[in-house]
Amino acid sequence: MAENKKIETGFSSDVLKDPKRIVFVTKKTSAKVTGDAGRQVMTFPHLVLREAIAFQILVIAIVLVSLLWDAPLEQLANPLLTPNPAKAPWYFLGLQELLHYFPPFVAGILIPTLVVIALVGIPYFNINIHGGPLWAKRRTSQLRMVLIVLSLLMIFLAIFLAWTVFVPSAAIAFLLLYSYSVPASQTGWRGFLRSRTVSWWVMTWFIAVAITLTLVGTFFRGPGWEWEWPWVSHGG
């Protein structure tokens, strides 16, 4: 790319029969064409048919589950009768679990808002776009940085006794530090970890925490938001 302006053109003898994309690449073009993206096929019928099959498999699956599982319907809403615990829909139970540890403003407003802002912002930060593997360069200073951030996070979580957040965070932190010790030549899952970027680690941490909190909130919280094993029915 850096050498001469090179223009590649492709054409077909019968454009109507077999249209091909014409790409015009200059230095300023944002779309990077790296290598051959492979052959192209017609959307109709190739993609449409696959979508149709996907739809059928999906419907078959949910129909079968629907036949076996009935959507819950409890008693008529009664504002005078609070169930214990009163739980939000499952996808908000992670938040409800956070509310157990942090003040409502932090857990209910600040954290979700920050998450949304972070998600929206992902494609607009170079570290997420060009960032190479975390342990590729300047390993020592990177490690120092990582250790500082990790200790701050862990201390913060420990202060609030948010151990259902602490545990998945610690697990990811362990993997992160472990991957530092993996030699560059390593292949397999170790090598995979070794070559991960910062954004990968952050997202993985977020997913791990979110899934843990949701699972805990859904299955492991009983009356009074006390810890409860799902297989031990409460009340004898």
Q: Tell which positions 99-158 bind other proteins, by CB under 8 A.
A: 99, 103-105, 108-109, 116, 119-120, 122-124, 128-129
Among 1, 11, 90, 145, which residue sits at the site for other proteins (rule: CB under 8 A)?
A: 90
Interface with other proteins includes 52 (CB under 8 A)?
yes
| Closer CB to other proteins, 116 or 158, in the complex | 116
Exposure string over 205-227, b if 16+ CB within 10 A, otherwise e:
beebbeebbbbbbbeebbeebee
Contacts of 144 (CB under 8 A, 6+ apart): none
* Residues 2-21 contacting other proteins, CB under 8 A: 16-19
The count of residues interacting with other proteins (CB under 8 A) is: 79
Structure tokens at 62: 């949910």
Give 75's Cβ-side CA count (13 Å radius). 6
SS3 221: strand
Q: How far is CA 2 from CA 16, 22, 25, 76, 185, in A?
A: 34, 21, 12, 70, 29
Smallest CA-to-CA distance from 109 within 90, 128, 95, 97 is with 95
Interface with other proteins includes 81 (CB under 8 A)?
yes
Stretch that binds other proteins, among 56-64, 132-140, 145-153, 183-191 (CB under 8 A): 56-64
- CB 143: neighbour CB atoms within 10 A? 15
| Closer CB to other proteins, 110 or 154, in the complex | 110
* Residues 204-223 contacting other proteins, CB under 8 A: 207
Nearest approach, Cβ of residue 48 and other proteins (Å):
7
Nearest approach, Cβ of residue 206 and other proteins (Å):
9
| Closer CB to other proteins, 66 or 181, in the complex | 66
Nearest approach, Cβ of residue 50 and other proteins (Å):
6
